[in-house]
Chain A
């Protein structure tokens, strides 16, 4: 039998770390809009942060997904620490994993707002997300009232096939290393969500940033 090295020992494919050109990012935003998503393009992480904060109402219930992108541009802190919002993540973290399992599932499944990121956005207007537990995906697909995804410009890929390759060959390898360090457990591309079209106009916003952010 052929011996295969564990995939996590492979380095991330550098092809997917390259920032897309302004033209490709603009074209991606236009394709997303044609699929019912709100899409805006900003120059920097700071502008992305301002755009997100501009959309979140004061006092809103917000679930900030686990995201290096959000952490790096300060949105995770805004949601969790500013006192301006009701952070679902902190609420869930404090709940009793044994006694309140069902309540936790219900709260996590349908927050008013989700703020997160994606792992790939295709130039023909699809958004791809992978998740080890899958808990982020349901709310993004339909459970949450509104969703905002902040996406670094290096995540723009030509099509679905290259998007899936990006999940396995880039995002997963970096996320796996992070998960092992942070939690002591491996990650996994256990669940994948592909958003091709949004039926409720404006429910899902993608903020594309002309900057490398996250995995």
Chain B
């Protein structure tokens, strides 16, 4: 036990989640709570744990939530979902203003950077985030090459600090609801959230980032949340103590996940499709992985199937140059195989996308110097501006963006200067 374990346990009751490790709903809530930095206790019925409030027959997962400063008041949610838990915890807030200067969709590094700059410069700013601040970077255990943090910083900490910073300047951050639709309205835009809440803004920054590319292999969908996870699974690290973990991917996210899980797991296998890590992973991570005795890197390898009853048990692995399918024993599989742009609602509003569904901006909209189709202004689109005036994009979701945290924060900051120019154009600034 470290000195921190001795001194840092919460003095008051925390959220308790009771369920089965093989439940995808349970995993979604654990992931949500972890990424939103909500302290919780996880009681795994499969491991023989229980809770006084649990009775057989109750719908799982069961979530017990203390009520503010009255610990004796416990809200019990049967069949809990991320949405009901978020509401019970008071994380679902309504927008305070009838209109904003800037609505930012996505609270990853780009969205949070934009929120800090916009709010600090006096713009009425709201950020809408479907899960938790931080985006994909928020699940990273340790970013060691982010400027100004010589000892590294976790994505979660970076997001937490940025969130506090943005809120200090007056930005509102609305969590736990995705944006379903955005539509032009009176020179600005109306964003509609999944629960029907609408947000009017004079400009929009779309920074919804990317989601993990799906692994097309038999068994993956059935065991999702039951040993198979997309991303680095920060909520699962402690649960992997002594386990055999497999990670798929050749990028920095996969490398960082390797380093995290190697601290807890008995053995970590990294499956990489390519011939080397050098093409896709930072050298410092390659060096760290090489030094860690319990990490095995398998190049030219792919997972072709996953199997298990209630939980993942085995992974079928094919290696290029061999006809044999090898069966790996595994307790957990983390899939970090690149991203696909979250442009579903952008599609509906008529934004132009590249061939891989990333948002086109600036000169990429009309490479020949022409204006994009339907563009009515005399000026050309600003850099980071989409084919809709006043609708900007930044970060990983933007076509041509560099998939690095620092690049995303840079784009977020830059976008605010362009938003100012747009607001001046339509008046009122």
Complex contact A135–B7 (CB within 8 A): yes
CB within 8 Å for A185 and B3 given contacts A96-B154, A96-B237, A99-B141:
no
CB of A190, distance to nearest CB on chain B (Å): 10
Q: Give Cα distance in the complex from A24 to B264, angstroms.
A: 54
Complex contact A104–B12 (CB within 8 A): no
CB within 8 Å for A78 and B69 given contacts A96-B260, A97-B4, A133-B6:
yes
Q: Which residue from B4, B141, B237 sits with its C-beta under 8 Å from A92?
A: B4
A92: B residues at CB distance < 8 A = 4, 8
Complex contact B4–A99 (CB within 8 A): no
A71: B residues at CB distance < 8 A = 11-12
Partner-binding segment picked from A5-13, A37-45, A82-90, A161-169: A82-90
CB of A149, distance to nearest CB on chain B (Å): 16
Complex contact B151–A97 (CB within 8 A): no
A54 at the B interface (CB under 8 A): no
CB within 8 Å for A90 and B39 given contacts A77-B69, A103-B157:
yes
Complex contact B154–A103 (CB within 8 A): yes
Complex contact B69–A93 (CB within 8 A): no
Residue-by-residue, is B1-45 near A (CB-CB < 8 Å gives 1, otherwise 0)? Answer: 111111111111000000000000000000000100101000000
B164 at the A interface (CB under 8 A): yes
B260: A residues at CB distance < 8 A = 96, 99
Residue-by-residue, is A80-112 near B (CB-CB < 8 Å gives 1, otherwise 0)? Answer: 111100100111111111111011100010000
Complex contact A136–B154 (CB within 8 A): no
B159 at the A interface (CB under 8 A): no
Most chain B beta-carbon neighbours within 10 Å: one of A74, A100, A132 = A100
- Which bucket holds chain A's interface residue count? 35 or more
Complex contact B69–A102 (CB within 8 A): no
Q: Which residue from A64, A136, A185 sits with its C-beta under 8 Å from B1?
A: A185
Interface residues in chain A, defined as those with a beta carbon under 8 Å from any beta carbon in chain B: 59, 64-67, 70-71, 74, 76-78, 80-83, 86, 89-100, 102-104, 108, 132-136, 179, 182-183, 185
B160 at the A interface (CB under 8 A): yes
B239 at the A interface (CB under 8 A): no
B153: A residues at CB distance < 8 A = 103
CB of A74, distance to nearest CB on chain B (Å): 6
Complex contact B68–A81 (CB within 8 A): yes
CB of A159, distance to nearest CB on chain B (Å): 29
Interface residues of B in 234-283 (CB under 8 A from A): 237, 259-260, 263-264
CB of B345, distance to nearest CB on chain A (Å): 30
Number of residues of chain B lying within 8 A (CB) of chain A: 36
B141: A residues at CB distance < 8 A = 96, 99
Complex contact A91–B160 (CB within 8 A): yes
Q: Give Cα distance in the complex from A89 to B39, angstroms.
A: 10
Q: Which residue from B8, B71, B151, B160 sits with its C-beta under 8 Å from A93?
A: B8
Q: Which residue from B7, B70, B259 sits with its C-beta under 8 Å from A133?
A: B7
CB of B146, distance to nearest CB on chain A (Å): 13
CB within 8 Å for A80 and B10 given contacts A91-B37, A96-B237, A100-B142:
yes
CB of A187, distance to nearest CB on chain B (Å): 9
Complex contact B151–A64 (CB within 8 A): no
B135 at the A interface (CB under 8 A): no
CB within 8 Å for A134 and B11 given contacts A82-B69, A96-B260:
no
Q: Give Cα distance in the complex from A132 to B69, angstroms.
A: 28
B151: A residues at CB distance < 8 A = 102-103
B90 at the A interface (CB under 8 A): yes
CB of B340, distance to nearest CB on chain A (Å): 28
B157: A residues at CB distance < 8 A = 95, 100, 103
Complex contact B37–A80 (CB within 8 A): no
B66 at the A interface (CB under 8 A): yes
CB of B410, distance to nearest CB on chain A (Å): 23
Q: Give Cα distance in the complex from A126 to B1, angstroms.
A: 32
Instruction: Give me 11 A-to-B residue pairs in the complex whose CB atoms sit less than 8 angstroms apart, sorted by A's number.
Output: A76-B11, A91-B160, A94-B34, A95-B156, A95-B157, A96-B260, A97-B5, A99-B141, A99-B259, A133-B6, A133-B7
Most chain B beta-carbon neighbours within 10 Å: one of A83, A92, A96, A132 = A96
A59: B residues at CB distance < 8 A = 168
Who on chain A is nearest to B39 by CB? A90
Q: Which residue from A77, A94, A96 sits with its C-beta under 8 Å from B12?
A: A77
B156: A residues at CB distance < 8 A = 95
Complex contact B8–A89 (CB within 8 A): yes
The 8 A-B residue pairs whose C-beta atoms are closest, nearest first, are: A133-B3, A76-B11, A98-B263, A77-B69, A77-B12, A93-B8, A99-B141, A80-B12
